[in-house]
Amino acid sequence: MNLGISALDYIEAIKNGEFTVEEFVSETFDQIKKVDGKLHAYLSLNEKALDQAKELDKKRKAKEKIGSCMGMPIAIKDNICVKGTKTTCASKMLEKYVAPFDATVIARLRKQDALFIGKTNLDEFAMGTTTEFSAYGPSKNPWNQEYVPGGSSGGSAVAVSALESVVSLGSDTGGSVRNPASFCSIVGLKPTYGLVSRYGLISYANSIEQIGPMARTVKDAAFLLNVIAGIDPNDNTTVDNHGEDYLKNIEAGIDGKKIGIISEMVGKGTDKEVSSATKKALAKFEDLGAKCEEISIDMVDYSVASYYTITSTEAGSNLARYDNIRYGFDFDLEGYEFNSYISKVRRNFGPEVTRRLIIGGFVPSAGHAGKYFLKALKVKSKLTKEINSAFKKVDFLVAPTVPILPFKFGEKLDDPVAMFLIDFNTVTANLTGKPAISVPFENSNGLPIGIQIIADSMQEKSLFQAAYALESTTNLPKVPL
C-alpha cells in the first residue's frame, strides 16, 4: 500500500474498494511506530482511530452514506481543540488540559468522516519557527534529521511529509503553516483572515492568525479548505464564502495573469540557492503565460518589527487566562496570595513564551506605547494600503516562502533577531489578512525550497489555480525515509 498517496487518490481508492479504511489507518500507525521515535511529529495519538476506521468500513459495507473524507487520516496541530483529547499547545501549562469541545474546523471534518490520527508538535503556544521551543522536545526534518522542520506547525508538516498522515491542519500567525511546509516540501495555505473559523483554536494573536490546511498536493489543500472554510456563528470575524468550491476549475492555468515579485523579499539576506530557485519559478510562470514584474513594497522592511510588537501584545492578554484555576493546571491555594499564586503558575511557561509575555507587557505600556505599539499598528495600516494598491496592478505577489534554506538545530537559537528574520517573507500576509500559499518547488542538495504566492483577500480560488500551475512544472524527489 502506498501511504504517500494524495488525499483525493485515497478517497478514490476507498470508493473503488482498493483497500479498506482500517487497512490504511493500521498501516499509517505502523509507519508512525517506525519513524516517529526519531521524528517526533506527534504529541499524542488517537487510540480510538482503528475502531473508528472499522466503524466506517462497516457503514460502507452496509451501503450507508459516509462523509466526503471517507476516513482520510488527518493530523491536528496541538493548539486546536478536539473534544475529549489532550490539547497541550506543547506547553507544560496545559499538560493536563483535556478539551471539552470540538473546534469548528474539527466538527466540520468529523461531519465529513475524516479520521483524527493524533495531535502534532509545535513551538510552545505557536511562538517560534523551528519547534525547538516545544516543551516536549523538537520535531526533526524528515529530509535530514539534523535540520529543523520549520515551525511553529512543524509536527503537522513532518507528519504529512513522513507519511504519518495524509493531510494535516496547522495554524499560521506569522508563517507557521507556510514555513514548515516549505522546509518539509509540502503545500501549506494561510487563508484570508476570517475565511476559516478560529473557534477552538487556542489564541495567541487572534487579530491575525488563521487555521490552514497542509497537504502533499495543491488539490488536497483546496479539498481540505472546502471542508473547513465558511462562516461560523461562534467566530464573529468569519466571513461568508457562499460555499465556494476551491477544487472546481483548479486546472484553469494562469495564462495572461500578472505577477509581482516583491523586491524587498528577494534582496539581501536571501540564500543564493533560494534566490536561484525563485528565478527559476518566475521563468516557469512566464512559460505558463504569466507576465512578471518587480514590485517594491516599502513597508515590508518594517513588517517583522510590527508583527512581533502586535503579536506579543495580543499574547500578553490572551495568555492571561492561564491563571492556575482553569485549564488543567492547578495547585493548592493554601499559602499564596493572589500575586504570588499567579507568578508561581507562570513559571510553567517556557523561556520563549516568558520573553514574549514580557515584551507584550512592555510595548503597549504607558510611556512606551507611542514608540512601539502605535507605530506597529501604523506600519500595519500602511503595509495594507501598499499591498492593496499592488493588487490593482497585479493578480499575484510572489516571493520565496523563507529567505533561507532549512538550518541545523541550535543554529539560530541564541540569536533572537536572526530568528525574527526567518519570518521576513511570511508576516506580510498575516498583517494584511491576505491569503498565501507555499508550494514545494525545488530541492537543493536534499533541502527543500518553497515558493510563496500571495493573492488578494478571498481570492483563494485563483490562488489555488496559480499554485497548481506552478506545482505542475515541478518534479521533486521522494522524501528519504
Partner 1 sequence: MVSKEEIEHIAKLMRIDLDDHTVHIDRVQKMIEYFDILDKAGTESEELIINEQPLENLREDKYEPYGDKLIDKLKHYKEKFIRAPKMV
Q: Which residues bind partner 1 (CB under 8 A)?
A: 98, 100-101, 233-234, 236, 299, 301-302, 305-306, 308-309, 316, 325-326, 328, 330, 333, 336-339, 341-344, 346-347, 351, 354-355, 357-363, 365, 371-372, 374-382, 384, 416-417, 420
DSSP codes of every residue in 250-278: TT---TT-EEEEEGGGGSTT--HHHHHHH
Q: Judged by CB, which is closer to partner 1: 234, or 472?
A: 234
Parallel, antiparallel or unpaired: strands 258-262 and 115-120: unpaired
User: Minimum CB separation from partner 1 for residue 45, in Å?
Assistant: 23
Distance CA 108, CA 120 (A): 19
- 145-166 burial, b for 16+ CB within 10 Å, e for fewer? eebbbbbbbbbbbbbbbbbbbb
Q: Is 258 a catalytic residue?
A: no
Q: Which is nearer to partner 1, 1 or 320 (CB)?
A: 320
The DSSP annotation for 141-181 comes to: -TT-TTB---SSSHHHHHHHHTTS-SEEEEEESSSTTHHHH
Neighbours of 72 (CB within 10 A): 28
- Closest distance between partner 1 and the C-beta of residue 413, in Å? 11
- 152 in active site: yes
Residue 438's H or E segment, with its range, is strand 436-444
Nearer of residues 141 and 241 to partner 1, judged by Cβ: 241
> What residues does 167 pair with on adjacent strands?
74
Out of 77, 119, 140, 190, which one is annotated catalytic?
A: 77
User: In the complex, what is the shortest distance from the CB of residue 270 to partner 1, in angstroms, rounded to a whole number?
Assistant: 19
Cβ distance to partner 1 smaller for residue 363 or 404: 363
State the catalytic residue, choosing from 91, 171, 176, 303.
Answer: 176
- The CB-of-408 to partner 1 minimum distance in angstroms stands at 21
Give the shortest CB-22-to-partner 1 separation in angstroms.
31
User: Using CA of residue 116, residue 325, residue 137, residue 351, what is the dihedral sign?
Assistant: positive
| Of the candidates 468, 475, 438, 463, the residue with the CA atom closest to the CA atom of residue 219 | 468
Q: How far is the CB of 133 from partner 1 (least distance, A)?
A: 13
Catalytic site includes residue 176: yes
Smallest separation, CB 263 to partner 1 (Å): 17
Written in H, E and C, the secondary structure of 292-308 is EEEECCCCHHHHHHHHH
- In the chain, the amino acid numbered 398 is V
In this complex, which beta carbon is closest to partner 1, that of residue 223 or of residue 424?
424
Question: What is the nearest approach in angstroms of partner 1 to the Cβ of residue 353?
Answer: 10
Closest distance to partner 1 from the beta carbon of 170 (Å)? 24
Adjacent-strand bridge partners of 86: 98
Q: Identify whether the C-beta of residue 182 lies closer than 8 Å to the C-beta of residue 401.
A: yes
Q: Return the number of the residue (200 or 406) whose C-beta is nearest partner 1.
A: 200
Contact 126, 155 (CB under 8 A): no
Write the CB contacts of 109 (distance below 8 Å, at least 6 apart in sequence).
Answer: 69, 74, 116, 227, 228
Strand partners, 396: 259, 455
Q: How far is CA 436 from the centre of its chain?
A: 11
Find all residues with CB under 8 Å of 77, minimum gap 6, and list them: 119, 120, 122, 126, 153, 155, 156, 168, 169, 170, 171
Nearer to partner 1, 72 or 262 (CB): 262
Among candidate residues 152, 161, 185, 312, the one labeled active-site is: 152
Joined together, the cell numbers standing for residue 436 give 498565501
Cell 512543524 belongs to 154
How far apart CA 116 and CA 118 sit, in angstroms, is 6
Residue 236 or 249 with smaller CB distance to partner 1:
236
Instruction: Return the amino acid letter for 121.
Output: N
Which is closer to partner 1, CB of 211 or CB of 379? 379
Bridge partners of 400, per DSSP, are 451
Cα–Cα distances (Å) from 351 to 133, 135, 363, 370, in that order, read: 8, 10, 18, 27
Q: Which residues are catalytic?
A: 77, 152, 176
